[in-house]
Amino acid sequence: MPGDARDVLITGIGLVSCLGEGLDAHWNGLSAAKPIVDETSFAPYVVHPIAPINFDLQIPKKGDQRQMEPWQRIGCYAAGLALDDAGIKGNNEILSRVDMLVAAGGGERDTAVDGKILTDLRTAENPKRLLNERLLSDLRPTLSLAQLANLLAGNISIVFNVIGSSRTFMGEELAGVDALRIAARRIAAGQSEIGFVGGAYNGQRWDILLQLAFGREALKAPYQPVWARGAGHAGIAAGSLGAFLVIESRAHAEARGARVYAKLTHIDAARCRRDVDSLEAAISRMLGDVKPRLASGELAVLSSASGAAHATQAERTALGSLEGIPVRATGSVLGHGVEAQFPLNVGLAALAISRGGLWPALDPTGFELPWSGTLKQALVTGIGVWRGEGLALVEPA
Amino acid sequence: MSKNVQDHKGRPVVAVTGIGIVTSLGIGKEDNWKKLTGGVSGIHEITRFPTEGLRTRVAGTIDFIPAEPVCAPALSEEFALLAAEEAIAESGVGSKGDFPGPLFVAVPPVEVEWPQRIELASASNAETIGYDDLIRMAETERFAPYYERFLYRGTTERLADKLGTRGSPIALSTACASGASAIQLGVEAIQRGETDVALSIGTDGSVNTEALIRFALLSALSTQNDPPSAASKPFSKNRDGFVMAEGAATLVLENLDHARARGAKILGVIAGCGEMADSFHRTRSSPDGKPIIGCIRNALADAGITPEDVDYINAHGTGTPENDKMEAKGVTTVLGERATRVPISSNKSMIGHTLSAAGAIEAAFSLLTIQHQRIPPTINYQVPDPEIPLDVVPNTARDAKVRYAISNSFGFGGQNVCLVLSGEPH
């Protein structure tokens, strides 16, 4: 293989979502261009439910599964798929050197317990005392652990013995961008040889919908593809999904004879104050930095657009400068998985590069152009619902 | 280029040119250092919320810094800002609201808290409260400010706004090692040559009803409430858990060559960082101690020093039976027969366990230890534990020659980070 020893290669991809698990399920699901949505379980909100998963296949100990809430099980499962895919699961020599970087939000609550306590507090003579008593009796210790953002990483260490290092970046889309950015820079600079990056999101949670509701960012039925969500009917359709990537230096990948999907040739993260700055200009600046390297006719954009009104519209306008380039928003098909969305789309970009193709458009507005050809560049956007802008370029290794 | 600006691996040496500290002992590093070396405890009876019916009634809350609404993200933001302003002012880097480098912040977990849930429930007219009721109220204009407040990234973004840092700020969550991880990320960014300066903050304002009860349910907290100042007893035989506490510390990290070129005062250097995750259990250390041992050895190797070079250990020293035993085992294995002669003390005996902030606060205190050549004590050490035959600097501070100090941070989820601190290389 030609190239630099410090190139950052993608050598393992683990994906799980409403489309199922693994690369073929995602390729086929995206190719079918048929979103899988649930408009009733969390009515009036739209969610993309996780496909049925036999968690035993990646998390064999029931005891481990019981110690996790759904977002952690989803993440752990995706992590296992990625380690399998990279051929390093069980290879303790390599796993002891793997630098793990997880993007996470926070733990899940027992919403039934919260509801009961809040109901009883309404009529309590001494509400403060009652709150103490009820929390002491009703909270499960395991939930306390599920609450910690770093316990997805902690569970991955336990289940798969990934122990080189473990870092968790907290918070929304840019946590996913920054996790990959820092892991890639460490590899490029020789601070790390092999990284393990990803995240998970459980959209089927009332407590997550509560968080989105404060910002009025949760999409209400009926479902629409992201570019079709307009004024008065915008928002995020939360997706339950997990995505992990194994990335390594070319030197390390070659030495162990790894199968390589693609090369991560550019990754950037930025932020602007959207109350005072133009988001569209910020996205355009990021695109401008990478534009000289882009080749029309071989390029596609995999967008992490969420459907949130301001961010989605600004991204659409900024991407308009890449005339004739096909755009695909995966959120239309499998929902928005916040921290996990960017790693997921970088994984799909690597897959698309390795297969040299692209799935069809899913967009009644016509912004997503039909395309056929041999894909050689995939630009991945990660524009946060509230803050933060990320961009990556994935190319053949 | 001045002398010794590259380390043994040819990387730029990372200096510390500004330190800011806020703990239950007070605001500012001078006041904190005076009290810490005076053996003063910041632990007191909790007044922020009622503790009726709870077995633990003490903590190191910070009640002298206002925040609105009272919740972990708002408190953490205020503590961090004070510590950052102190550190940046001392360093002379940038100016107020304009720091020319990236931001790494260790923050506690975030979620909507009980006062907000109760507020939403009260606003709803439903008799039986469910999350659908809370969500209906959440979508009204009145509660809109809670959106940004309770985003996981919210506190970090607001800090970046106010401090004027560059690029995408990173919110670290590696449990009780978070503060050390924030420093490590800053060090690495400077070593990569991406920046000459970086701001690393650890902050935690998460002493609230549910957080306390969660740790209590894990049997992690001391229940010896009387007197509060004696509750935190690291390394003692009668230790019975940690004491939750709040605080923040900020380090201005700077390429040593860059710092010297502008004539900055060098407060110390981060000589090495080591990590190793533990795959044994979610809350317990591997009984063989391998991850702790490996983590400390990785840090020494990163710094290019040997166990013989270690003059002082700033312990994680939480005061839980498990942590102190495993930490002592790890330290003893790494230092060998020298272990009993190398002083090891726990700042937590005085300031409690500041959780996400602890790694940063204790790194800051370790730097002050080197600067003043004086070791803060482990207070409340009345009943030695024969299984921990170490020099814990009992009860009284001590002058000592400290060239290299290590600061340990261990957290739930198998997080282990060790930092090596030293004075300016000449």
Task: State the ipTM, two decimals.
Answer: 0.97
What Cα–Cα distance (Å) separates residue A40 from each residue in A223, A225, B44? 11, 18, 50
C-beta of residue A69 within 8 angstroms of C-beta of residue A148: no
Give the minimum alpha-carbon distance from B349 to chain A in angstroms, rounded to a whole number.
25
The H or E element containing residue B274 is: strand B268-275
- A357 Cβ partners below 8 Å, 6+ apart? A372, A374, A375
CB-CB neighbors (< 8 A) of A109 in chain B: 111
Name the 3-class secondary structure at B143. helix
Nearest-CA distance A248 → chain B (Å):
17
Give the whole-angstrom CA distance, residue A187 versus residue B110: 30
Q: Does B144 touch chain A (CB under 8 A)?
A: yes
Is there a contact between A107 and B111 if contact means CB atoms under 8 Å apart? yes
Beta-carbon separation of B181 and A167 below 8 A: yes
Q: Decide if A128 touches B, using CB distance below 8 A.
A: yes
- State the pLDDT at residue B4: 87
A74 within 8 A of A16, measured Cβ to Cβ: yes
> Is the CB of residue A79 less than 8 Å away from at least one CB of chain B?
no
- What is the C-alpha separation between A216 and A207, in angstroms, rounded? 14
- Spacing of C-alpha B421 from chain mean position: 15
Q: For residue B103, give the amino acid letter.
A: L
Q: Residues of B with catalytic annotation?
A: 176, 316, 353
What residues of chain B, 187 to 246, have a C-beta less than 8 Å from chain A? 188, 191-194, 209-210, 213-218
Residue B288 Cα, gap to closest chain A Cα (Å): 15
**Residues of chain A with C-beta less than 8 angstroms from the C-beta of B72:** none
Structure tokens of B176? 């009780």
What is the average per-residue pLDDT within B200-223? 96
Q: Which of B152, B215, B356 to mutate to test the interface with A (most CBs of A within 10 A)?
A: B152
Distance CA(B198)–CA(A240), nearest Å, equals 35
Taking residues B280-298, report their average pLDDT. Answer: 92
Residues 6+ apart with CB under 8 A from B410: B176, B177, B285, B292, B316, B323, B326, B327, B416, B417
Predicted pLDDT at B262: 97
Q: B34: how many CB neighbours lie within 10 A of its CB?
A: 13
Cβ contact, residue pair A168, B214, below 8 Å: no
Residue type, A74: I
CATH 3.40.47.10 domain span(s) along chain B: 14-111+150-422
Rounded to a whole number of angstroms, the CA Rg of chain A reads: 21
Which of B131, B158, B191 to mutate against chain A (most A CBs within 10 Å)?
B131
* Contact with chain A for residue B359, Cβ under 8 A: no
Q: Is A263-395 a domain of CATH 3.30.70.141?
A: no
CB contact under 8 A, A132 and B52: yes
Q: Which CATH code of 3.40.50.1950, 3.40.47.10, 3.30.2130.10, 3.60.21.10 fits the domain covering B14-111+150-422?
A: 3.40.47.10
Tell which of A163, A236, A385 to mutate to test the B interface (max B CBs under 10 Å).
A163
- Dmax (CA) of chain B: 72
Three-state DSSP class for residue B420: strand
Antiparallel, parallel or unpaired: β B415-422 and B268-275: antiparallel
pLDDT digits (tens, 9 = 90+) for B139-195: 999 999 999 999 999 999 999 999 999 999 999 999 999 999 999 999 999 999 999
Return phi, psi of residue B121, to 5°. Answer: -65, -40
B364-400 pLDDT tens trace? 999 999 999 999 999 999 999 999 999 999 999 999 9
What is the distance between the alpha carbons of residues A244 and A77, in angstroms, rounded to a whole number? 9
The tokens of A160 are what?
A: 């798969």
Number of H helices, E strands in chain B: 13, 15
Q: What is the pLDDT of residue A296?
A: 82
H or E element, residue B45: strand B44-45
Task: Tell me the CA distances in angstroms from A47 to A229, A306, B151, one per residue in order.
Answer: 15, 12, 20
Task: Spell out which residues of chain A touch residue B151, defining contact as CB-CB under 8 Å.
Answer: 171-172, 211, 386
Instruction: State the fold for domain A8-110+142-255.
Output: Peroxisomal Thiolase; Chain A, domain 1 (3.40.47)
- Locate A25 and state its tokens: 């399920």
Q: What is the mean pLDDT of each run of 10 residues along chain A (397 residues)?
A: 89 98 98 96 97 98 93 97 98 98 92 96 94 93 78 96 96 98 98 98 96 96 96 93 98 98 98 93 97 93 97 97 96 98 98 97 97 96 97 98
Q: Characterise B352 by phi-psi region: left (phi > 0), alpha (psi -120 to 50), beta (else).
A: left
> Could you tell me how many CB contacts below 8 A there are between chain A and chain B?
242
Q: Smallest CA–CA separation between A238 and chain B, in Å?
A: 15
User: Which residues have CB under 8 Å from B234's CB, separation 6+?
Assistant: B315, B317, B318, B319, B324, B346, B348, B349, B378, B380, B381, B392
Partners of A12 in the β-ladder = A246
The CB-side HSE value for A247 (13 A sphere, CA atoms) comes to 35
Average pLDDT over residues B17-40: 98
pLDDT tier at B1 (50, 70, 90 boundaries)?
A: low
Mean pLDDT to the nearest integer, B15-43: 98
Q: Which of B156, B276, B412 sits opposite A171 (nearest CB)?
A: B156
A75 inside 8 A of chain B by CB = no
- B121 Cβ under 8 Å from any chain A Cβ: yes
Q: What would the mean pLDDT of B225-239 be, rounded to a whole number?
A: 98
Helix ranges (DSSP H) in B12-63? 29-37
Burial class (CB in 10 A: 0-12, 13-18, 19+), A298: middle
Using the Cβ of A291 and the Cβ atoms of chain B, whether some distance falls under 8 Å is answered with no
The residues in A 216-275 lying below 8 A from B, measured between CB atoms, are 216-217, 269-271, 273
3-state secondary structure chain A: CCCCCCCEEEEEEEEEECCEECHHHHHHHHHHCCCCCECCCCCCECEECCCCCCHHHCCCCHHHHHCCCHHHHHHHHHHHHHHHHHCCCCCHHHHCCCEEEEEECCCCCCHHHHHHHHHHHHHCCCHHHHHHHHHHHHCCHHHHHHCCCCHHHHHHHHHHCCCCEEEEEECHHHHHHHHHHHHHHHHHCCCCCEEEEEEEECCCCHHHHHHHHHCCCECECCCCCHHHCCCCCCCECEECEEEEEEEEEHHHHHHCCCCCCEEEEEEEEECCCCCCCCHHHHHHHHHHHHHHHCCCCCEEEEECCCCCHHHHHHHHHHHCCCCCCCEEECHHHHCECHHHHHHHHHHHHHHHHHHCCCCCCCCCCCCCCCCCCCCCEEEEEEECCCCCEEEEEEECC
CA-based nearest residue to A350, from A82, A88, A71, A19: A82
Residue that the structure tokens 């967008």 belong to: A303
- Best CA proximity match to B149, nearest among A277, A215, A105: A215
Binary contact (B215, A144; C-beta < 8 A): yes
Alpha-carbon gap: B189 to the closest alpha carbon of chain A (Å): 9
What is the residue type of B196? D
**Quick check: B216 and A136 CB within 8 A?**
yes
A275: exposed, middle or buried (C-beta count within 10 Å: 0-12, 13-18, 19+)?
exposed
Shortest Cα distance from B284 to chain A (angstroms)? 11
Spatial separation of the C-alpha atoms in residues B366 and B360, rounded to whole Å: 10
